[in-house]
Amino acid sequence: MSAAFDPRERLADLLAHARRAGADEADAVLFSGTSLSVSRRMGQIEHVERSEGRDLGLRVFVGERSAIVSASAIDEAAFADMAQRAVAMARVVPADPLSSVAPLREIPPADLDLDDPSEPDAQALGELAGIAEDAARSMPGITNTEGADAGFSRSEAVLATSRGFSGSYRRTGHSVSATALAGAGTGMQRDYDYSSAVYAADLEDPAGIGRRAAEQALARLNPTRPKTARMSVVYDPRVSASLLGHLSGAVNGASVVRGTSFLKERMGQRIFAHGVTVRDDPRRRRGLRSRPFDGEGQPTAPLDIIADGILTSWILDSRSARQLGLTSTGHAARGTSGPPGPSATNLYLEPGPLSPTELMADITEGLYVTELIGSGVNGITGDYSRGAAGFLIRNGALAEPVAEITIAGNLTDMFATLTPANDLRFRRGTDAPTIRIDGMMLAGA
C-alpha cells in the first residue's frame, strides 16, 4: 500500500458521501492484503502464486432500514454514486429495528504484535517447502507425496463509523505444510502435518513437519475395522478442536436467537465437568485471530464461555445482543458484502492435569481418533455422528490402525464426560488438548 494512500481518510470521505446522500448513519470497512505461496512436489516447484487486493464495503441506515454495497476497487470518483445506490436500496427494504451502527466505545491499548516486518520471497518459501518434503520423502516406506506448501500473507483491516470510530490493524501469516503417502495401490495411506504462525520465527521446524507427516502415514498402513461397541474415545489434538467448533456454534448468539442451538436454554447451567474452562481470547499476543476491536468497532477482551464447567456467556455481536437483552461481547465479524455476525476468535479449551498417556492408562479397549470425516452434527438436538480413522487403544496403549468407522453420541452427554489432557498447543485459531470422552458408540464391522 503506497504511503500516499490513507485508508482512514478514504473511509471518512465515503461516510461523508453517505450522509450527504441521505443516510442517517453508516459504517464502512476496507480489507487489503497480499499473499505469496509456493507448492513443491517430488523435488520440483509445481506452483507459485501471488495475489494482491482491496475490498471496500459500505453499510448505510435510513431510519430502521439498511443496505450494503461493496466494491473491489477504491475509486474516490465513484464514492458519491456508491453512497447514493446504498441509500436508494435501504429505502425499499423492510425495517429492522434491531440493527444499527454500534455505539462509540473506548478501545483499550493492546500489544498484540501481529505484524511481522520480515517478508519472504518465493525462493525462501520454496526452500521451506523443499525441506519439509525432502524430510517426508527420506523416510523408508514413503512411496509418494502430495507435495509441500509454504506461504506468507500480510493484510490490513480498517473500520470507520458515523459515530466517530476509526481504527485499523495489520496482520501477517506464515505457514508450512506437507502431505506424505505410504504403501501402494488400494492399500495406500496418506497423512499430513503443518504449522502456521503470525511470525516466521514461531513456525515449527519444516523438517519436523515433513517427518511427522511421513510417520503418521506409515502408522496408518493396513488398517482394520473393529466390531461395533460402546467405548471410550480419545481425540488427538488435531481433531479435538472440532468439538470446540460445535460448542462455538451452539453458543453463537445468532443460533440462540433463532432457536437452533441445543444449548439455548442452558445459560448458567453445568455443561462440562468441574474444572473445565473454555476461553476466547481475542487479545492473545501473536494469536492467529487476535484483534484490538471487532467488526463493529467494539472493544475486545478475553471471555470465559465455560467457567468451571458452567455456561457463562454467549458469543454476541450488537444485533444478537439486542435480541437477547444483553450487551455485545465484542465478537462481531464481517466482510464487505454482508452485515456483521457473531464469531469466536482465539477459542481454546484449558488443559487438564493429566498427560495423554495418563488419560488413556485405564482404557482396556478404546479408540484414539486422528481423523474425522463428514459433518453429521445436528445443532438443534446435539446428535453427533462422524466418520473416523485412527488407532485402537488396548490396555492403555495405542495398538493397530483402524479406518472406515463411525463414532456417535450426543454433544450434551459428550461434553458432560469430556476430560482434557495437559498438552494444549496454540496451532490454529481454535485449539484443544487431547480429549477423552467415555461411553461413545463406535460403529464398525
pLDDT of residue 5: 74
pLDDT of residue 226: 93
- Burial degree of 306 (CB within 10 A; 0-12, 13-18, 19+): buried
pLDDT of residue 444: 87
Nearest to 133 by CA among 67, 192, 49: 192
Q: Is a pLDDT exceeding 70 seen at residue 1?
A: no
Cell representation of residue 289? 485471530
pLDDT of residue 186: 85
pLDDT of residue 4: 63
For residue 305, what is the enclosing H or E element?
strand 303-307
C-alpha span between 440 and 137 (Å, rounded):
37
Nearest to 369 by CA among 397, 395, 392, 394: 392
1, 54, 145, 192 from 36: Cα distances, Å = 16, 16, 22, 21
C-alpha span between 300 and 291 (Å, rounded):
7
For 4, residues 6+ apart whose C-beta sits below 8 A from its C-beta are: none
For residue 434, what is the enclosing H or E element?
none
CB 343 within 8 Å of CB 330: no
Question: What type of residue is 422?
Answer: N
pLDDT of residue 44: 94
CB 415 within 8 Å of CB 223: no
Specify the higher pLDDT residue, 87 or 5. 87
Mean pLDDT over the full length of the chain: 96
Q: Is a pLDDT exceeding 80 seen at residue 3?
A: no
pLDDT of residue 152: 98
For 48, residues 6+ apart whose C-beta sits below 8 A from its C-beta are: 36, 37, 38, 39, 122, 126
- pLDDT tens for each residue of 182-240: 998 888 999 999 999 999 999 999 999 999 999 999 999 999 999 999 999 999 999 99
Q: Is the pTM of this model over 0.85?
A: yes
C-alpha span between 430 and 41 (Å, rounded):
29
302: number of Cβ within 10 Å: 12
Cell representation of residue 445? 464391522
Question: What type of residue is 445?
Answer: A
pLDDT of residue 2: 47
Q: Which class is 122-219 in CATH?
A: alpha beta
pLDDT of residue 74: 86
Long-range contacts formed by 240-243: CB under 8 A, 24+ apart: 240/349, 240/432, 240/433, 240/434, 240/435, 241/428, 241/430, 241/431, 241/432, 242/372, 243/411, 243/414, 243/415, 243/418, 243/432, 243/435
C-alpha span between 192 and 180 (Å, rounded):
6
CB 298 within 8 Å of CB 100: no
- pLDDT tens for each residue of 72-109: 988 888 999 999 999 999 999 999 999 999 999 999 99
- pLDDT tens for each residue of 291-340: 999 999 999 999 999 999 999 999 999 999 999 999 999 999 999 999 99
pLDDT of residue 99: 93
Helix (H/G/I), strand (E/B), else coil: 163: coil
For 257, residues 6+ apart whose C-beta sits below 8 A from its C-beta are: 320, 323, 324
Q: Is a pLDDT exceeding 90 seen at residue 374?
A: no
C-alpha span between 206 and 134 (Å, rounded):
10
Percentage of residues of the chain with pLDDT beyond 70: 99
Helix (H/G/I), strand (E/B), else coil: 371: strand
End-to-end Cα spacing for the chain:
58
C-alpha span between 151 and 201 (Å, rounded):
14
Domain parsing of the chain, residue ranges: 122-219, 229-243+351-443
Alpha-carbon dihedral angle through residues 314, 320, 322, 326, given to the nearest 10 degrees: 0
Per residue, the 3-state secondary structure of 59-116, as one string, reads: EEEECCEEEEEEECCCCHHHHHHHHHHHHHHHCCCCCCCCCCCCCCCCCCCCCCCCCC
- pLDDT tens for each residue of 338-355: 999 999 999 999 999 999
